[in-house]
Structure 1
Amino acid sequence: MSKYSLATFVNETKENPQERDYFELEKPQLLEINLNNQFVWTKAGSMIGYTGNINFERQGMFSGGLGNLLKKVVSGEGSKLMKAEGTGKLYVADSGKKVRILHLNNESICVNGNDVLAHDQSIKSDITMLKSIAGMMSGGLFQVKLSGTGHIAITTHGDPLTLMVTPENPVYTDPNATVAWSGNLNPELKTSISFKSLMGRGSGEEFQMKFSGNGWVLIQPYEEMYTVEK
């Protein structure tokens, strides 16, 4: 059989039926979720295919209360989640970004809202807000704190790097390149630029996120830009 035949192509790229984990990395940029009469939260717009009997319901991540106000200024698909419920195989991806599966064991992690791809129903999600003008202008205003026991999937542009944070060595990052950090850290947004200068937004180097204490922060080799809805 020719290595360029259609049959060879199909055989090399087809889904592996032996993989049955709840969250399964089918390809580096493609997550397979095996549902068995249960539901999972995924990023709105991330579904690229499914088999079986799965129902989808789009919901705002910021539904109710303060969320009614917040969702007016939050940008992009990262502000909304899709509930997928039923039995079957669900395939999700996000603009070719690499996917990383994590299993939390009564732990917590903070993730940039745009980088949350999926989490199972047992994981609690809370919006955290950095109260800073710099945060709003950089797109670094909203993050999602995921906690509990269960699976989550996050995405990065390229291969990420984890920097360790210690009391002696705080870490400073560009908000647009910051993906996630340990749940015990509370970053500050630092800037030496005036509000007037921020309104004419320039590069991300004008302001940084400062991480102090004991923990870690995950950065990606890419500055992800965000737009703010009017």
Structure 2
Amino acid sequence: MARDFQRGHKARISDLTAGTDLYVGVQIAGPGLTFDISCFGLDADERLSDDRYFIFFNQPKSPEESLQLLGAQAGDTESFRVTLDRIPPHIRKLSFTATVDGAGQMSQIGPGYLRIVAGGEEVARYSFDGAEFSTERAVMLGDFYYKDGWRFAAVGQGFDGGLEALLRNFGGEVLEEQEEAPAAPQGGAGVGAALQKFKETPTGQRWTPQNKKLMRVDLGVGGQPVLAKQGSMVLYQGKVDFGYKGAGFAGRIVGNATGQEMQLMRCSGQGQVFLAENATDLHPVELQGDAICVSAENVLAFDEGLQYEVRRIEGHGIPGGALFTMQFQGTGTIVVKTHGKPVVLPVTPTTFADCNAVVAWSAASQVIVSSQVRMRRNAYLGDTGESVNLQFRGAPGNFIVVQPYEV
């Protein structure tokens, strides 16, 4: 029986089928409308760095034929053959899209779907209709993406502009006839060109870094609300409701260094919220049923559907008397903030780290408070330089994440 997906849902393809030779069918229609249905083969930066992997009506297959356009069949408007074990390693995502050819917009379409078939049996289906869109002329329907194996995501994200705009969004080039452009007003073109590199980057995903320090969350993808640190919203678009939870979801969370209560806001609705805090670096961490502990000081936002629990690590010398952490488990995303670029290290039989530098660690690791003599430039004569360290013990495969920063 096919598994039904809603927008924002994800799954390992190995959980859907053991096969690697897949058929992808798209059904989309609207009165008086025609469509271009394409597949973009993207690199690790989600860019079309190799245009031979843009599969559309003028280029129906990739060089090694791991991606092939098959045409309309079996009730599908367009269909593809995808052979996952033949896709070259520089291709990390396949984005299936539909664009209106000519006049019209996505709000005019009727019920449609993207489906995956393996061995003659339909194993997954994502259904959509025009009520989910407005004036967009393109839609990102679904992605195959590689993360410890190939996975599928139902995207359903509308996109302004047509096929050419979508191609440019992925970093491709559009061949156009050379025409002499009319003279632009003095200074106008220069401003536009200067700002172009800073423009918003929509990807159709729920969480999208706009740069290292600014995160966009699309509440319409996945449908569930987001909990974010109060005061972290810098901009929002669309119909978004904000509710303030304080820290009452599991008692008060008190920052280990500041002693201040951590307050959360609940963001819900249909729109986009942009989050940042004090120009710290932001990192989306996606959980697929696994668990992780994160210092409460380093949590910026997370999907409300995750299971979370506040934990307290007490020890003499810890500022405020305790280090508060949050343990997350389930399927969803946490946005972790760091001062500088973090480093992920394996937990050896015994690993020590400064409590202010620790960002996150494996939930299965054992944590013990330990005082050690530190060697710092500010440990002057008469100052023992004692610091509170955390001792980590864990099995092979456990890890800790540290940042290049100490209070």
TM-score, normalised via structure 1 length: 0.81
After TM superposition, give the deviation of residue 8 of structure 1 in Å: 1.4
1:208 aligned to 359, 367, 389, which one?
Answer: 389
1:190 aligned to 339, 364, 370, which one?
Answer: 370
Question: Match for residue 8 of structure 1?
Answer: 193
Decide which structure has greater helix share. 1
After TM superposition, give the deviation of residue 75 of structure 1 in Å: 3.8
Q: 1:174-185 residue pairs with structure 2 within 5 A?
A: 174-185=354-365
Residues 372 and 386 of structure 2 are in contact (CA less than 8 Å); yes or no, is this contact kept in structure 1? no
Which deviations, in whole Å up to 9, do the C-alpha atoms of 1:177-225 show, x marking residues without a partner? 11110111131111269xxxxxxxx8985221000122111110011x3
Question: Match for residue 196 of structure 1?
Answer: none
1:132 aligned to 270, 293, 315, which one?
Answer: 315
Q: Work out the CA distance in 2 between the residues paired with 1:204 and 1:120.
A: 40
Q: Work out the CA distance in 2 between the residues paired with 1:92 and 1:46.
A: 5
Q: For residue 219 of structure 2, what is the amino acid of its counterpart? A: L
Residues 298 and 336 of structure 2 are in contact (CA less than 8 Å); yes or no, is this contact kept in structure 1? yes
CA pair 76-159 structure 1, distance change in 2 beyond 3 A: same
Matched, 1:97 2:283: no
After TM superposition, give the deviation of residue 56 of structure 1 in Å: 0.9
After TM superposition, give the deviation of residue 9 of structure 1 in Å: 2.6
Question: Match for residue 198 of structure 1?
Answer: none
* Structure 2 counterpart SS, 1:187: strand
Q: Work out the CA distance in 2 between the residues paired with 1:72 and 1:119.
A: 18
CA pair 6-192 structure 1, distance change in 2 beyond 3 A: closer
Residues 315 and 322 of structure 2 are in contact (CA less than 8 Å); yes or no, is this contact kept in structure 1? no
CA pair 6-140 structure 1, distance change in 2 beyond 3 A: farther
Q: For residue 8 of structure 1, what is the amino acid of its counterpart? A: A
Question: Match for residue 45 of structure 1?
Answer: 231
Q: Work out the CA distance in 2 between the residues paired with 1:71 and 1:158.
A: 23
Question: Match for residue 145 of structure 2?
Answer: none
Q: Work out the CA distance in 2 between the residues paired with 1:149 and 1:16.
A: 24
Instruction: Say which is worse superposed, 138-147 or 202-211, in terms of deviation.
Output: 202-211
1:113 aligned to 288, 296, 318, which one?
Answer: 296
Question: Match for residue 336 of structure 2?
Answer: 154
Q: Work out the CA distance in 2 between the residues paired with 1:216 and 1:88.
A: 35
Q: Work out the CA distance in 1 between the residues paired with 2:255 and 2:358.
A: 23
Matched, 1:34 2:218: yes
After TM superposition, give the deviation of residue 133 of structure 1 in Å: 2.6
RMSD between aligned residues: 2.8
Which deviations, in whole Å up to 9, do the C-alpha atoms of 1:86-105 show, x marking residues without a partner? 11111001111111111101
* Structure 2 counterpart SS, 1:9: helix
* Structure 2 counterpart SS, 1:106: strand
Give the share of equivalent positions with the same residue, in percent. 29
Q: For residue 209 of structure 1, what is the amino acid of its counterpart? A: L
CA pair 108-78 structure 1, distance change in 2 beyond 3 A: farther
Larger radius of gyration: 2
CA pair 72-118 structure 1, distance change in 2 beyond 3 A: closer
Q: Work out the CA distance in 1 between the residues paired with 2:238 and 2:404.
A: 37
CA pair 218-133 structure 1, distance change in 2 beyond 3 A: same
* Structure 2 counterpart SS, 1:114: helix
After TM superposition, give the deviation of residue 21 of structure 1 in Å: 0.4
After TM superposition, give the deviation of residue 3 of structure 1 in Å: 11
Question: Match for residue 242 of structure 2?
Answer: 56
Q: For residue 212 of structure 1, what is the amino acid of its counterpart? A: R
Gaps of 5+ in 2: 1-183, 374-382
Gaps of 5+ in 1: 194-201, 226-230
* Structure 2 counterpart SS, 1:133: coil
Instruction: Say which is worse superposed, 105-114 or 5-14, in terms of deviation.
Output: 5-14
Question: Match for residue 206 of structure 2?
Answer: 22
